Amino acid sequence: MTTRRQTARLAGALYLAMGVASGLALSYFPARFLVAGDAAATAARIAAAPMLYRLWMVSDLATEVGYVYLAITLYALFRDVDRNQARVLIAMILVQVPMWSIFTVLKLVPRVLSNGSGYLSVIDKPQLDALAMASLVLLDRSVGALSAYWGLWLVPFGLLVYRSGFIPRLLGVVVLAAAGAYLLSAATYFFFPAYYATVFWAAAPFYGLGELGIIGWLLIKGARES
C-alpha cells in the first residue's frame, strides 16, 4: 500500500521532471534554433541539427506525459482534503496537454516545408523559410497564452496545500503567490504585450519561491502521515 509520504514524494519527482522537460522546451531549444527576424538563418540552424530539433519535439511529449501522471498523483494526494477542489486541479493540469500537442504540431511545420517534396517546388525557398519561421513565431506567441494556465492550476494546488494539514500552510501561501505572479504576467501578455517580458522576469522570484519550494518539500519531506 502506497503511503501518503510516498505519494507526495512521487508528486515532487514528477513535478521536477516535468519542470525540467518544459524548461528545455521553452528556453534552451528555442535559443538554439530561432534567429530573431532571420528566416533563412533559422532554417539553416534546423537543417544543421535535425536530431536536436527532434529532441525538442520529444521534450514536448515528455512534458505532456508528465502532466498526466502529475495530475493523477496530486489527485490521489489531495482527494481527501477537498474532492471538488482536487478535481479542479486535475482539470487545470490536463487542459494543458492538448496545448503542448499543438506546440509539437507547430514544430513539425518547418520539417515538412524543408523535406524537398515535389509539391513544394512551386514555392521559392525564401517563402518556405518564411512560412517555417512563422510557425515558430506562432509557437512563441502561444506560450504566452499558455502561461495563464501555469497560474490557474496553482490556485487549487495552493488552496489544497494550505488546507491539507499534512504540508505546511506557508507553502500553500507561497504557491498562491506564484499563481498570482503567473496570472499577472499572463494578463500583461494579453493587454500590454510590450511589457510582457519585463513583468514576466520581474515576477520570476515569486515563481521560483513557490514552485521550487513545494517541489523541494515534496521530494525531501513528503507529507505527514497523520
How much is the pLDDT for 85?
95
Read off the amino acid at residue 127: Q
Query: For the chain, which ranges sit under pLDDT 50?
Result: none
Read off the amino acid at residue 175: V
How much is the pLDDT for 17?
92
- Nearest Cα neighbor of 19 from 70, 53, 91 is 70
Q: Which residues contact 216 (CB under 8 A, 6 or more apart)?
A: 12
What would the grid cell of residue 23 be?
A: 524548461
pTM of the model: 0.88
How much is the pLDDT for 1?
63
How much is the pLDDT for 197?
85
Residue 117 to residue 139: CA distance in whole angstroms: 24
How much is the pLDDT for 34?
87
How much is the pLDDT for 79?
94
The rounded Cα 89 to chain-centroid distance in angstroms is 15
Residue 58 to residue 70: CA distance in whole angstroms: 18
How much is the pLDDT for 93?
94
46-100: pLDDT as tens digits = 989 999 999 999 998 889 999 999 999 999 999 999 999 999 999 999 999 998 9
How much is the pLDDT for 167?
93
Residue 9 to residue 220: CA distance in whole angstroms: 7
Residue 190 to residue 122: CA distance in whole angstroms: 37
